[in-house]
Amino acid sequence: MIYDLAIVGAGPAGMAAGIEAAALGLSVTVLDEQPAPGGQVFRAVEAASGDAALAGEFRDAGGALAAAFRAVRGIAYRPQTTLWHLDPEAGLLSVVSGGATAEIQARRILLATGAQERPVPIAGWTLPGVMSAGAAQILLKTAGAVPDGSVVIAGQGPLCWLLAVQLLRAGVERLTLLETGSGGAFRDALRAGGLWTGRKLLAKGLALMRETRARGLRVVRNVRDLRAEGDGRIRTVRWRQGSRDHALACDTLLLHEGVIPSTHITRALGLDHDWDARQLCWRPRLDRWGATSHANVAVAGDGGGIGGWEAAAAGGRLAAIDAAHRLGRFDAAVRETRAADASKARHAALALRPFLDRLYRPGPGVLAPADDTIVCRCEEITAGQVRDAARLGAAGPNQVKAYLRAGMGPCQGRMCGTVVAGLIAETRGTSMESVGALRPRAPFKPMTVGELANQRPDAIPELTA
């Protein structure tokens, strides 16, 4: 069969889009690599709903959305299914699931593959015991687990505060937040405005900060030059503050410098992208409905630009409404009417973004770290090696890949691509736009030769609620 709409990703955008599309009478399938819906922000929400440490929005809003998604008839939901190739012209999705590959056909494709935490390359970040902040949150959500001993969150952004609250509620006793970020960022952020419209989100953030204070979180501000040190695993975290060096015993170091769109698939498709100088990331070029530079492909959620789960859900609804319009279900005037609520919700959800983007803008070292820092974790290539290649003439990340193998490992450049580009731009004195980005190709995620060789003639069995 040919679906009206194939949605890749069952996070807030994908779930909301699926619910809306089914309500509009479109035939829709939702693919997701995880075994349960929720994406990352609501990961394992169905299983973790009893955990008091995760009380609040995660449990309430996330749980409700997942339940609504499950309840809809008419969504062909395919968990543990990974997209490995997409032909947008033919509407052909090549997927792998359960040891074999198969094909799904759709008139329109909505990519809701979300975001990833920005890699934070510091000296020693590859040591066992150093993880992203989100990783600790996922361990809490999926296994109810917390880190032992001295736990340090280093970086900046709303997730740092949310995670701190969750870890403290969950019983972590020695928790320190090392906040990077410059002193002037707050003044700059105030100029962005949006504080009144975004007051709900702002109040949430302030409440989190108050709770961390009440629970005894130690906060160090204006931290620079982070280093992780240890023999075979992290033992100490070092930093500079002003002109002084500091060190702290550390058993688990959780790094966070914001979240960036996952552009792996949109890049593989050759869609148009723009460099977002505020969020320091690439984003696919989208219209207000999420339509990309290819007629059959749209993007919704954080994959189109970081906005948080509420904006993602609203964006998913808008993309589904637009899909119905493009497939001839109703005209543009009706599209406007149906989209009014979601548009308003999205606008409100994004109101605080400019403020947050300025407040938590990563420092230059995040995109262009010191020479001795590993930037390609898979192939163990350092920033110094990349700078040397750039001086030799490598003008972009695809060339650096050929010189050094950076980007040839299994992560396919997800961890190193933007940093390699940042190093080239810095070394050659050019812009991120002119340096460009890594060009990924299928398979979008590794799969075995055997999986590719095995093809199921019939479509992968789906779960319909």
Partner 1 sequence: MPGDFAVDLGADTVRAPRLVLASGLGNADLAPLVGLSAPLRPERGQILVTERARQVLALPTHVVRQTEEGSLLLGDSKEDLGFDTLTQTPAIMRAIARRAVQTFPWIAELNIVRAWAALRVMSPDGKPIYDASERFPGAYIANCHSGVTLAGAHASLLAPMIAAGALAPDLSPFSARRFHVQKTA
Partner 2 sequence: MFRRRPEARPATQDRLVEVFVAGRPIRVPEGASAAAAVLLSGAPAIRTTPVGGAPRLPYCMIGICFDCLAEIDGVANRQSCLVPVAPGMRIEPQIGARVARADDTAPEAA
Residues forming contacts to partner 2 in the complex (CB under 8 A) are: 33-36, 40, 44, 47-53, 116-117, 126, 128-132, 134-135, 138-139, 142-149, 170-171, 232-233, 251-252, 262, 377-380, 409-411, 414-415, 445
51 binds, among partner 1, partner 2, none (CB under 5 to 8 A by kind): partner 2
Shortest spacing between CB 226 and partner 2, in angstroms = 15
Question: What is the residue type of 455?
Answer: Q
Q: Quick one: which segment of 38-46, 186-194, 336-344, 438-446 binds partner 1 (CB under 8 A)?
A: 438-446
396 binds partner 1 (CB under 8 A): no
Q: Quick one: which segment of 126-134, 159-167, 290-298, 437-445 binds partner 1 (CB under 8 A)?
A: 437-445
Q: Which is nearer to partner 2, 55 or 68 (CB)?
A: 55
Please write down the long-range contacts of 61-64, taking CB distance under 8 Å and 24 or more positions apart.
Answer: 61/309, 62/12, 62/38, 62/309
**CA distance linking residue 398 with residue 380, whole number of Å:** 17
Q: Which is nearer to partner 2, 142 or 464 (CB)?
A: 142
- Output the six-digit token pair for 408: 């040839």
Shortest spacing between CB 443 and partner 1, in angstroms = 6
Residue 52 DSSP code: G
Q: Quick one: which segment of 34-42, 56-64, 67-75, 86-94 binds partner 1 (CB under 8 A)?
A: 86-94
**CA distance linking residue 211 with residue 454, whole number of Å:** 53
Phi, psi of 134 (to 5 degrees): -60, -30
101 binds partner 1 (CB under 8 A): yes
382 contacts 420 by C-beta, under 8 angstroms: no
Q: Which is nearer to partner 1, 340 or 453 (CB)?
A: 453
Shortest spacing between CB 2 and partner 2, in angstroms = 29
101 binds, among partner 2, partner 1, none (CB under 5 to 8 A by kind): partner 1
377 binds, among partner 1, partner 2, none (CB under 5 to 8 A by kind): partner 2
The correct pick among 452, 456, 459, 462 for binding partner 1 (CB under 8 A) is 452
Q: Which is nearer to partner 1, 100 or 138 (CB)?
A: 100
* Distance (Å) of CA 57 to CA 41, 139, 162, 387, 461: 10, 18, 11, 44, 33
Q: What is the DSSP string of 148-206?
A: -SEEEEEEESHHHHHHHHHHHHTT--EEEEEE-S-TTHHHHHHTT--TTTTHHHHHHHH
Size of interface with partner 1, in residues (CB under 8 A) = 24
Shortest spacing between CB 400 and partner 1, in angstroms = 15
Question: In a 3-state reduction of DSSP, which class is residue 249?
Answer: strand
* Distance (Å) of CA 430 to CA 118, 174, 300, 426: 22, 43, 31, 7
283 binds partner 1 (CB under 8 A): no
Shortest spacing between CB 75 and partner 2, in angstroms = 22
Shortest spacing between CB 406 and partner 1, in angstroms = 13
265 contacts 243 by C-beta, under 8 angstroms: no
Q: Which is nearer to partner 1, 294 or 405 (CB)?
A: 405
117 binds, among partner 1, partner 2, none (CB under 5 to 8 A by kind): partner 2
160 contacts 117 by C-beta, under 8 angstroms: no
Shortest spacing between CB 442 and partner 2, in angstroms = 17
Q: Which is nearer to partner 2, 130 or 237 (CB)?
A: 130
The correct pick among 57, 103, 251, 433 for binding partner 1 (CB under 8 A) is 103
Question: What is the residue type of 83?
Answer: L
* Distance (Å) of CA 284 to CA 111, 267, 386: 11, 8, 26
The correct pick among 1, 332, 340, 453 for binding partner 1 (CB under 8 A) is 453
Radius of gyration of the chain (CA): 22
Pairing of strands 115-117, 259-261: antiparallel
333 binds partner 1 (CB under 8 A): no
123 binds, among partner 2, partner 1, none (CB under 5 to 8 A by kind): none
> Of 14, 3, 2, 10, nearest to 298 (Cα)?
14
Shortest spacing between CB 297 and partner 1, in angstroms = 16
**CA distance linking residue 404 with residue 379, whole number of Å:** 9
- Output the six-digit token pair for 61: 């809003």
- Output the six-digit token pair for 377: 């974790």
Any bridge partners for residue 85, and if so which?
94
44 binds, among partner 2, partner 1, none (CB under 5 to 8 A by kind): partner 2
393 binds partner 1 (CB under 8 A): no
Q: Which is nearer to partner 2, 333 or 449 (CB)?
A: 449
